[in-house]
Amino acid sequence: MKTTKINKYPLRLAVSQALILFSYVTHVHAAPVVPTDAGSVNIPRPQLPPLEVTPALPQETLPESETNADSNVKVVVKAFEFSGNEQFSTETLSGLLTGYIGREVSFAELNEAVTKVKQFYRNNGYFLAQVVLPAQDLVKQSDQSTVINIQVIEGKLGELKVEAGEGINQSFMSDLSHNGIASGDVITEQSLVRNVILINALPGVRATSILSPGAEPGTSDATISVEPENKVIGYAGINTYGNPYTGRETAFAGVAVNNLAGRGDQLTFGGRISRNEDLKAFNIGYATPVFSPANVLSLGYSLVEYSLNGQFKDIDAKGNSQYFTAYLDRSMYRDSRKGVNLRLGGIYKELKDEIGLFSVNNRRDIAEVELGVSGEWITAGGDVMYQLGLSATGGHVSFKDSLAELVDRTSLGGLGTQGDFMRVNLIANRNQIFENGINWALRADYQAANQNLDIAEKMGIGAVNRWRQFAYLPSLANEGWMVGTEVKKDFIVSNPSLKVLQAVTPYAFYDFGNGKINHDPLSSDNHVLSRHYGVGVDFTMVKQWVLSTTYSIQDRAVEGAPTDTAYTLWGQLKKDF
C-alpha cells in the first residue's frame, strides 16, 4: 500500500485532507441502512403481478353466414364504422385502416384490419380490449362499395373486491385499490394494473389480482388479494469496507419492521461500528403510503460520530453529524414495463468537524430542498432495464463558529461556501441479463454546482465504489462525473458434497471518475481523478449467509500531489433474516 505521509505537505493540506475524510465518513454512513443487499447495485425492477384473465368477452370469430361464404369473395370498402369505442374516436380508428379503403379486400384482409385496431388498443394499455366483425351480410354487397361495421369491446370493470390478509388494514388497502378506478370504467394498465403494481411495491405485502367474467357482457370482475410477508426482516454482518482512518473492520446490522399500521408501511433501524469504535453510526426511518399507492412518504434520522486515526491521529481530528430527512415520492406513470417518478423533499444537516491541533471547530448547519424526476423502462424482451434520474437541490449553509465563518469568507484560503447554493445531479443506469445468465451493469453519475460547495455537498470521486461499498482513497469534487461497469454471473451449486454452498457469483468491476475540486479554485491545481477496478466472488450459503471477497486496485491523482495507488483485499460476511 502506498500512502501519503503527512509531513511531506504543508499543515494546510493536512487540514484539507482531514476535512475530506470528515465528509467521506458522513456521506457514507449518514444514509439509511435498510435490509437490502448493500454489497451490490440495487436497481428496482417493476414487476407485473400475475393476472389470471378470464373475461366474458366475445371471441374474434366471423358470423356463421360469413364463415361459410366463399373465401374468394371480395368487397370494395367504402368506409369503416365503429361501435363501442369510447376511448378513441371513429376518426382515429379509421385512420389506422386507410390502406383498406377504396379497394377490394378479402375476408382475411378484413380480419387483418380488425387485428390492427385491437393491437392499437393493446399498445395503449387497454389490455382487455377485443375487436370483432359483427354479423353483416357482406356477400350480397360484394358487387358494390360497402361500409364495414367493426365492434369494439373495450373491457370495463364490473365489481372490484379486495381481500386483505392477517394484519393488513382492509379499509386502507381497499381505498388504494380503488384509486382512480370505479365500476364501469375501462380497465387499463394505468388504472387497475397500476394500482396492483404500486401496492405490490410496498414493503411487507404481496399483491395479486384475478379477473373473472362480470355480470354484464363486456365486463370483468376483479379481485385483488393483499397478503402480508415477514413481519420482521433484517441483516447483520462484518466486513473490511471501512475507511482506514476510522477502522477498516466494521460490524453492521439493520432491521425492518413491516406493516406496523397494516398499510404497507415500514420502520427501519440500522447501525454500524468500527472495531476500535472510531466510527459509530445509527439511523432510523419510516415510510408509508399516503392517500394513494402512488404516494410514499419517507422520514429519517441518522447520527454519525467519528475520529480519525492513522496519519491524522496527531492532529486530533474528530466530529459528528446529524441528518433529518423527509421525502415524498410520487409515481406519475406506471405500467408493467415503465414508470416515471417525482420526488420532493429536504434534508437538514447539523455538522461538526474538529481539529484539535489547530483549534478548528467547524460547526455549521445545512438546510436543503430537493426536486427530482426519474424514470425506468424494461425492454419488450424483459432482459434490459434502463434508468434515468435528474435532481436539483437548493440549500443554505450557516456557520455556527465565528472563526470558521471568518476563514470561509476571507481571502486567507476561504472558499465562500456560506449562504445559498444550487447543485444538479444526473444519474443513468443500464442493466442487462443475457440468456447465458451473465448480468452486465453500466452506470454514470454527474454533478454540477453554481459555486463552491460545502464538503458535505460535494460528489465522491472514487469515495464509494459505484458497485461495491468500499474505496480506500476518498476524494471529493465540487462538480464532476463517474462512470462504471460490473459483470457478474451466478453459478448454482448442485454438488451433494457441498451442501452448505448454494451459489457462486464471480464478478469484475471498473469505474473511472474526474472532478473539479472547487467551482472557484484557490489555485490552478483543481482536479482529481480516480480509477478503480477489481475482481471478486460472492458465495451464497444456506440459511441466507453470504461471503464476499474482492481484490481491487485504485489509483487516485490530485493535481499538485503524487499519484496514490491502493492494492486492497476486501471481505464481508453477512446474514439475512
Q: Considering only CA atoms, which of 189, 180, 104, 85 is closest in space to residue 143?
A: 104
Of the candidates 429, 456, 483, which is a domain's last residue? 456
Q: How many CA atoms lie within 13 A of 212 on its CB side?
A: 9
Domain boundaries, position 176 = 158-228
Cβ–Cβ under 8 Å, residues 68 and 468: no
**Residue recorded with cell 491502493:** 566
* 436 & 524 share domain: no
Residue 537, CA distances (Å) to 491, 499, 572 in order: 11, 18, 11
Amino acid, res. 373: V
CA–CA distance, 348 with 357 (Å, rounded to integer): 29
CA–CA distance, 436 with 251 (Å, rounded to integer): 36
* 444 & 492 share domain: no
pLDDT of residue 392: 97
Query: Bridge partners of 392?
Result: 371, 424
How many domains in the chain? 4
pLDDT of residue 44: 36
* 437 & 452 share domain: yes
Query: Pairing between strand 51-53 and 205-213?
Result: parallel
Q: What's the angle, vertex CA 465, arms to CA 460 and CA 467, rounded to 5?
A: 135
* 330 & 451 share domain: yes
Cβ–Cβ under 8 Å, residues 109 and 94: no
pLDDT of residue 362: 84
CA–CA distance, 542 with 336 (Å, rounded to integer): 33
* 372 & 345 share domain: yes
Of the candidates 112, 131, 153, which is a domain's last residue? 153
* 505 & 448 share domain: no
Q: Is residue 206 part of a domain?
A: yes
Query: Pairing between strand 74-83 and 476-477?
Result: unpaired
* 347 & 426 share domain: yes
From first to last of its 577 residues, the chain has per-residue pLDDT tens of 444 333 334 444 455 555 555 555 555 555 544 443 333 333 333 333 333 333 333 333 333 434 334 556 688 999 999 999 999 999 999 999 999 999 999 888 999 999 999 999 999 989 899 999 988 876 655 556 789 999 999 999 999 999 999 999 999 999 999 988 999 999 988 888 889 989 988 999 999 999 888 989 889 999 999 999 999 999 999 999 888 888 889 999 999 999 999 999 999 999 999 998 899 999 999 999 998 889 999 999 999 998 988 777 888 888 899 999 999 999 999 888 889 999 999 999 999 988 887 777 889 999 999 999 999 999 988 889 999 999 999 999 999 888 888 877 875 556 889 999 999 999 999 999 999 999 999 999 999 999 999 988 998 887 555 556 666 676 788 999 999 999 999 999 988 888 899 999 999 999 999 999 888 887 777 899 999 999 999 999 999 999 999 999 999 898 888 888 989 999 999 999 9
pLDDT of residue 53: 36
Query: Pairing between strand 491-492 and 501-516?
Result: antiparallel
Of the candidates 194, 210, 228, which is a domain's last residue? 228
Q: Is residue 562 part of a domain?
A: yes
Q: Is residue 187 part of a domain?
A: yes
Q: Is residue 149 part of a domain?
A: yes
